[in-house]
Amino acid sequence: MTIAIEARNVVFSFGQTPALRGASIAVDSGEIVAIMGASGSGKSTLLHCLAGILVPDSGEVLFDGARVDSMTEARRSSLRRDRFGFVFQFGQLVPELTTAENVALPLLLNGTRRAEALRKAHGWFERLGLEGLEHRRSGELSGGQAQRVALARGLVTGPEVLFADEPTGALDSLTGEQVMDLLVTAARAQGTTVILVTHEPRVAAYADREVIVRDGRVNAPDRIAS
Amino acid sequence: MSVPLTLLGLLDREPSHGYDLKREYDAYFGRGKPLPFGQVYSTLSRLARDGKVVISEVGPGEGPDRKRYIITDLGATEVEQWLTQPVEPEPHLQTVLFAKVVLALMLDRPAGDYLDTQRGAHLQRMRELTEIKRTGNLVDALLADHGLYHLEADLRWIEMTGARLDALKKAVRP
């Protein structure tokens, strides 16, 4: 197995408040890892550092052999757009766009022609059981439908790593499980590495393994790269 | 799992032979632990003795036995009561895990590490059940869910206990 993405001794503070105090994690290519921990443990901050959304105060983040933490904002932005996918707790769909346009958005942003982007987006509607909803706006969707649209948007570029931060946090149990089932099935089908932040054991159980973040450190010493 | 009540419940649907009852029990409730034939027939005999089923000698079912069991009004009432009454909610205060944590604290052992190990074991079992759910039929999924929710409840207890270990230590090591 090759390591897809890795954090080494990452430290990050929000002002005077430390969030990560030397967190390390290595995730293999194609692996689905759940990052668990109590509220305020630093699990979302770790995800944001791995994804290049936040820049650590110290420590290293490596993706495909490159130091994400020392990249320019433009390069990190490009990385997030072209090689990473994201799903957040509240789908965060653009309300002015149709669902098909929402799914196509990452492709449009990376320069794919509109017709091609929408064609690829439509393929995901069938895969995620969203047929017939292509022309609706996000306000016309149920929570589960909106989150499946968000999942399609996160996967439409065929990302190497999908970051999912409490992707079922706003859904009821059954709908949440349907979303997780689709997420895992789709990620496995295209070999996408998944980093899943959750405080729900039932959601974490969809992952290959879990790591626990406690007081800004990762409790998985056997998997930490030296 | 109450075998007599489950067999009565199956008979409440329609009269059946012992062999067919065993086959249905194994399919829906056995989960890898088939009901021995001896237990099926001894249970049915007790149910007949207690007036909850009667036996009619008619043609064979799929198995060799010729006895056909029919639920009585008394048996049907018992099934109805069983189904409508809630199961006694047990506080589970004396579980092995509880005892281990308290003893670990009493003995000044690393209770937090034990809880971490237990959390890992619980999550591993939850992964197995989730896989069963994803790949099995609806009956498998229903049973897996039952296990998953119980394990999840344990995990919540583990989290809460982990957060209270210092206070708990003071309580058990005055």
Tens digits of residue pLDDT in B8-30 = 999 998 999 999 999 988 888 88
**A51 pLDDT above the threshold of 90:** yes
- C-alpha dihedral (A194, A200, A202, A207), degrees to nearest 10: 20
pLDDT reported for residue B1: 61
Percent of chain A surpassing pLDDT 70: 96
Residues A125-158 have pLDDT tens digits of 988 888 899 999 988 999 889 999 999 999 999 9
List the domain boundaries for chain A. 3-223
Query: Which pairs with CB-CB distance under 8 Å and at least 24 residues apart come from A79-84?
Result: A79/A52, A80/A51, A80/A52, A80/A53, A81/A106, A81/A109, A81/A110, A81/A157, A82/A110, A82/A157, A83/A157, A83/A159, A83/A160, A83/A161, A84/A51, A84/A52, A84/A159, A84/A160, A84/A161, A84/A162, A84/A163
pLDDT reported for residue A220: 62
Residues B55-93 have pLDDT tens digits of 987 665 555 667 899 999 999 999 888 888 777 666 565
Name which CATH class applies to B3-84: mainly alpha
pTM summary value: 0.81
Percent of chain A surpassing pLDDT 90: 75
* Residue A38 sits at the chain B interface (C-beta within 8 Å): yes
* Residue B126 sits at the chain A interface (C-beta within 8 Å): yes
Report CA A121 to chain centroid distance, whole Å. 18
List the domain boundaries for chain B. 3-84, 96-172
Could you please state the CATH topology (level 3) that the domain comprising A3-223 is classified under: Rossmann fold (3.40.50)
Distance CA B129, CA B124 (A): 9
**A226 pLDDT above the threshold of 60:** no
Chain A residues within 8 A of B130 when measuring between CB atoms: 202, 205-206
* Residue B127 sits at the chain A interface (C-beta within 8 Å): yes
Predicted ipTM > 0.85 = no
